[in-house]
Amino acid sequence: MNKIEMKTPLVEMDGDEMTRILWKMIKDDLLEPFIDLKTEYYDLGLEHRNATDDQVTVDSAEATKKYGVAVKCATITPNAARMEEYDLKEMWKSPNGTIRAILDGTVFRAPIVVKGIEPCVKNWKKPITIARHAYGDVYKGTEMKIPGAGKVELVYTAEDGTVAKELVHNFTGAGIVQGQHNISSSIESFARSCFNYALDIKQDLWFATKDTISKKYDHTFKDIFQEIFDSEYKEKFEAAGITYFYTLIDDAVARVMKSEGGYIWACKNYDGDVMSDMISSAFGSLAMMTSVLVSPQGYYEYEAAHGTVQRHYYKYLKGEETSTNSVATIFAWTGALRKRGELDQIPELCDFADKLEKACISTIESGKMTKDLALITTLENPTVLNSEEFIKAVRGTLEEML
């Protein structure tokens, strides 16, 4: 069989711990036998980030701007324990945060739906994708404890010295206060990333805030989305047969619970934090969540939503057997390969990505799965495979399909 040729390299961002082990197995067993894989390799493993003073992370993000599509392995975000474990020069920032800041992107997370892993919400038949705005609000808030009676005001001093004030509250006793902000350009990028992604995957886009109560703050989000939609996306949405739908956040929650899924739900920063955990746990497993960072300029970075699965890695290092689920990492590769195939017009590459995803799904639906899924499946007598056996089983299914 001839290997599928690629034109443009993918930006490959290698990572840490158990997912680094799976990364190599996936390339060796599921990709390189079938594709003449072209990648520009960046080692984002913590040792190399430390050795390069984290320059490698910046370089990999810049390469994503150059080539357009990246695939990323899970990486360690250092904390005090990691400082010691890896003898780090500094507590390097989260690579995902660094990359997101450079690409100015929005993260879209969607569950991989398979028969036998049933959502807790019985009418959810299709995935629900959460798009979370990643800047500002309570995450960049300023807070104060108010010790006793006194006046709190918001004060804006313009560059020319003009002052505008707004009373927050006239305290008669102790209390608390919080200041939040957001930036129009960030909300605009968020809106464009959402509209572009909806067109990309041809799904409806929902957006919800509390604009009836927050008549300036949340209402600005609503207005920016609507203005950009009307002026740049309305016709494209009509042509694609999809809709943009705005509603109040509480109405959205009620509708989501009664829906059958199959749309993108755009959320403000806090709502996205809370709702993405609700959606992912209700769909069954963190190991089955995909994640893609989409920039308003149309750069894409695909990854799994889970971390480096540290606990399994320590077992692996001791020579013990692991049963780590590689599906979300495989889907990061298929997402990136399919996007590369679309951009470079290589239908065989898109077709291969589709087949590899189907191979993962049918392997699980045939009862062969890793332990995390075996614990929650509704299929009777599942066969529990170890990390490597599962990848080999997917290879077997894939070869039958090709």
Interaction between residue 281 and Mg ion (CB under 5 A) = no
Which long-range CB contacts under 8 A does 376-383 form with residues at least 24 apart? 376/117, 376/284, 376/285, 377/116, 377/117, 378/116, 378/117, 378/118, 379/116, 382/116
* In the complex, minimum distance from the CB of residue 221 to Mg ion, in angstroms, rounded to a whole number: 20
d(CA 125, CA 372): 21
Binding of residue 20 to ligand NAP (CB under 6 A) = no
Interaction of residue 342 with Mg ion, rule CB under 5 A: no
Residues 6+ apart with CB under 8 A from 84: none
- Which partner from the list ligand NAP, Mg ion, none does 60 bind, CB cut-off 5 to 8 Å by kind? none
Between 189 and 324, name the residue whose CB sits nearer to ligand NAP: 324
62 binding partner (options Mg ion, ligand NAP, none; Cβ < 5 to 8 Å by kind): none
Q: How far apart are the first and last CA of the chain?
A: 10
Which of 63, 121, 267, 287 binds ligand NAP (CB under 6 A)? It is: 287
Task: Report, in Å, the least distance between residue 172 CB and ligand NAP.
Answer: 45
Q: What is the distance of C-alpha 115 from the center of its chain?
A: 23
Shortest spacing between CB 313 and ligand NAP, in angstroms? 9
> How far apart are the C-alpha atoms of 109 and 115, rounded to whole Å?
20
Instruction: Verify binding: residue 386, ligand NAP, rule CB under 6 A.
Output: no
By C-beta, is 49 or 222 nearer to ligand NAP? 49
Residue 75 binding: pick among Mg ion, ligand NAP, none (C-beta 5-8 Å cut-off by kind) = ligand NAP
Q: Which of 33, 136, 298, 307 binds ligand NAP (CB under 6 A)?
A: 307
Residues 330-369, one symbol each (x = binds ligand NAP by CB under 6 A, - = not), give ----------------------------------------
Length in residues, the chain: 402
Binding Mg ion (rule: CB under 5 A), the pick from 273, 342, 348, 351 is 273
Place of tokens 């993260």: 107
Residue 273 near which of Mg ion, ligand NAP, none (CB within 5-8 Å, type-dependent): Mg ion
Which residues form the interface with ligand NAP (CB under 6 A)?
74-77, 96, 286-287, 303, 306-311, 324-325, 372
Chain residues binding Mg ion by CB under 5 A are: 273, 277
